[in-house]
């Protein structure tokens, strides 16, 4: 599962550690935080791929830092591609593949990822935070940006201190039975939409969000073109991708 946290507020490490511990069910295997250039990055790890400590997060490569929640199903293929391009890896993790991939592809790295994910990368060269959420929003990402103070987390609880209930979102819950993104139950806290990215320029204080993917409209003929065998192959491939983790491949 894992949990991520990023903030540029001036609170110390013990404060953020206590906040992450309120949601430690997301990652019982490791809790780690560090600060860089006025930013705090924190991570709760549930070890799935590369179980060694070398793959604990936050993870850094040069002047790039990442916190990541999820699983990238095609990380081995992407890793091989980046190795051919001359990039070096220190782990066997999908986390590092995202981080190295960002160094090569920039923000378009999301177009190469097949998986479920939410992540935030701090680019020290540009003093920019870049984050994204998977295409269907399997992995959550909440954020708040008020008076130049940015906070983001996998859960609401660590960033909900002193926040007020959003009546508009509450009415949505009564009407729909859930609160649609970009709203959350709290004022000034938003949920990043599925298939969206964000970029926060910490120098300019400029926050932008945009979609990188959406569902394409289907025509009636599109369904007729998919044969039973093709559908079975697609489903089998989808299931196999989700079984990729240390130990599972050998047992299949």
pLDDT digits 0-9 by tens, 94-107? 999 999 999 999 99
pLDDT at 211: 97
Active-site residue identified among 2, 153, 166, 197? 2
What confidence tier does 240 reach under pLDDT thresholds 50, 70, 90?
confident
What confidence tier does 243 reach under pLDDT thresholds 50, 70, 90?
confident
Which among 93, 4, 101 has a CA at the least distance from the CA of 49? Answer: 93
Q: Where are the domains of the chain?
A: 3-211, 220-251
Q: Distance between CA 130 and CA 140 in Å, rounded?
A: 15
pLDDT at 249: 47
Q: What is the pTM of this model?
A: 0.91
Mean residue pLDDT across the chain: 92
**Alpha helices by DSSP H, 106-193:** 167-176
Give the position of tokens 């300019």.
204
**In the predicted model, is pLDDT for residue 33 greater than 60?**
yes
Q: In the chain, what percentage of residues exceed pLDDT 70? A: 92
**Do the Cβ atoms of 110 and 212 come closer than 8 Å?**
yes
The torsion region of residue 150 among left (phi > 0), alpha (psi -120 to 50) and beta comes to beta
Is 197 one of the catalytic residues?
Answer: no
Domain 3-211: state its class: alpha beta
**Structural tokens at position 180:** 């649609």
- Per-residue model confidence as pLDDT tens digits over 135-174: 999 999 999 999 999 999 999 999 998 899 999 999 999 9
- Per-residue model confidence as pLDDT tens digits over 183-223: 999 999 999 999 999 999 999 999 999 999 998 776 666 66
């Amino acid at each position: 599962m894992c949990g991520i946290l990023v903030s540029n507020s001036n609170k110390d490490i013990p404060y953020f550690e206590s906040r992450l511990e309120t949601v430690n069910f997301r990652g019982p295997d490791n809790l780690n935080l560090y600060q860089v250039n006025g930013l705090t990055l924190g991570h709760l790890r549930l070890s799935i791929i590369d179980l060694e400590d070398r793959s604990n997060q936050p993870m850094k490569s040069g002047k790039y830092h990442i916190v990541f929640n999820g699983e990238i199903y095609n990380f081995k293929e992407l890793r091989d591609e980046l190795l051919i391009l001359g990039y070096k890896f220190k782990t066997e993790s999908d986390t590092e593949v995202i981080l190295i991939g960002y160094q090569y592809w920039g923000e378009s790295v999301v177009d190469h990822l097949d998986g479920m994910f939410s992540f935030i990368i701090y680019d020290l060269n540009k003093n920019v935070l870049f984050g994204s959420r998977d295409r269907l929003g399997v992995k959550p990402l909440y954020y708040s940006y008020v008076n130049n103070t940015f906070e983001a987390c996998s859960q609401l609880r660590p960033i909900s201190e002193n926040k007020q209930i959003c009546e508009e979102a509450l009415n949505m819950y009564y009407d729909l039975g859930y609160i649609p993104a970009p709203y959350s139950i709290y004022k000034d806290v938003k949920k990043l939409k599925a298939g969206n990215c964000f970029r926060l320029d910490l120098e300019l204080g400029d926050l932008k969000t945009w979609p990188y993917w959406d569902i394409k409209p289907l025509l009636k003929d599109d369904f007729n073109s998919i044969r039973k065998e093709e559908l079975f192959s697609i489903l089998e491939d989808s299931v196999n991708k989700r079984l990729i983790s240390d130990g599972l491949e050998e047992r299949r």
